[in-house]
Amino acid sequence: MSAKVLDGKSVRDQILAELRPRIDKLKANHRPPGLAVILVGNDPASEIYVRNKIKTCGDMGIYSEKITLPDTISTEELLGIIEGLNQRSEIDGILVQTPLPKQVDKHRVLVSLLPEKDVDGFHPINVGYLVAGIPAPRACTPAGIMDMLRRYEIPLAGKKAVVVGRSDIVGKPMALMLLHQNATVTICHSKTQDLAGECRRADILVVAIGRAAFITRDFIKPGATVIDVGINRKPDAKLIGDVDPDAMKEVASAYTPVPGGVGPLTISMLMANTVRAAEQRLCSK
């Protein structure tokens, strides 16, 4: 039996379609949701990500502002811009695109956002809410993966889940979200002994390490669901994930392709976080 492809584009389209009537209602009762995106410097990958985020806002009827700043900016100058956005009532969400230049204190920037406007879900208060299982903005990529697993009706309760990678953006929040759905979760990283053995125990294997095709068939339990978060560019410019694509197809029961798997989910969940922030601000008036 061939493995099921978990189509991120299809899930993205479902999420965005469900958001449209909520956006229309906000417009009719108040104003459109508002998102400010801060881009520091001219990192080519960041420019593409920001362009896609702004374009999706336009397609969805979400008000957006792109704030482009020089890579010589100081931490204090950036904090001043964020404080101005915190005060503006028509801005529901603020996103600071990373990476930031070396002279900018990333932690101070992160905690300067109002938690309710932190649509990336990275503010320590929102991370604390995730740990406690309290509703708050959630990190977009793992939240999108959870939505995909739900829509494809992949059972999680009682299953062994292994997350390879411990970043604040994907690995740690992913493990917590799986834990909240009653999976038994192991987090693996560069110091893990017998990584292949740990991965082979997984019914759900989530890989986010940034190493092209590092996970081979020896790491995959037959019939597992494999979620490949990695996006790596090969010398011929083709994209490949962190998992060997042939191994996923041949050993897994379901898997996310690269491209077209996890990637499309991130921006759709950013839109969902922005709409939810706008709804909550309207309710609190």
pTM of the model: 0.96
Class of domain 30-116: alpha beta
Under 8 Å between Cβ of 261 and 231: no
Token reading at 59: 């397609």
Domain boundaries, the chain: 30-116, 140-263
Provide the CB-side half-sphere exposure for 285 (13 A, CA).
9
pLDDT of residue 45: 85
Peptide linkage before 235 cis (omega within 30 of 0): no
* C-alpha pair distances (Å), 157 with each of 24, 144, 184, 206: 36, 18, 8, 16
Residue 272 has a CB neighbour count (10 Å cut-off) of: 22
What does the alpha-carbon distance between residue 278 and residue 283 come to, in Å, rounded to a whole number?
9
Q: Say which CATH topology domain 140-263 has.
A: Rossmann fold (3.40.50)
210 near 173, Cβ under 8 Å? no
| pLDDT-derived band at 140, boundaries 50, 70, 90 | very high
227-250: pLDDT as tens digits: 999 999 888 888 999 999 999 999
Catalytic site positions? 53, 97, 120
Rg over alpha carbons for the chain, rounded to the nearest Å, is: 19
- 3-state class (DSSP) for residue 45: helix
Cα–Cα distance, 228 to 241 (Å, whole number): 6
Please give the residue that has the higher pLDDT: either 236 or 11. Answer: 11
Predicted pLDDT at 250: 96
Tell me, what's the pLDDT at 221? 98
Average pLDDT over residues 141-163: 98
Rounded distance, CA 240 to CA 77, Å?
Answer: 38
Could you tell me if 229 and 255 are in contact, meaning their C-beta atoms sit under 8 angstroms apart? no
CA distances from 99 to 21, 41, 49, 222 (A): 34, 9, 12, 37
30-116 matches 140-263 in fold: yes
Yes or no: say if 164 and 209 are a contact pair by the CB < 8 Å rule.
yes
Give 34-81 pLDDT, tens digit per residue.
999 999 998 888 999 999 999 999 999 999 999 999 999 999 999 999
Q: Which of 276, 273, 275, 278 is nearest to 90 (CA)?
A: 278
pLDDT in tens, 244-275: 999 999 999 999 999 999 999 999 999 999 99
Q: Compute the distance between CA of residue 189 and CA of residue 177 in angstroms, rounded to an integer.
A: 18
Q: Which tokens is 164 given?
A: 């390879």
Mean pLDDT, the chain, integer: 96
Q: How far apart are the first and last CA of the chain?
A: 54
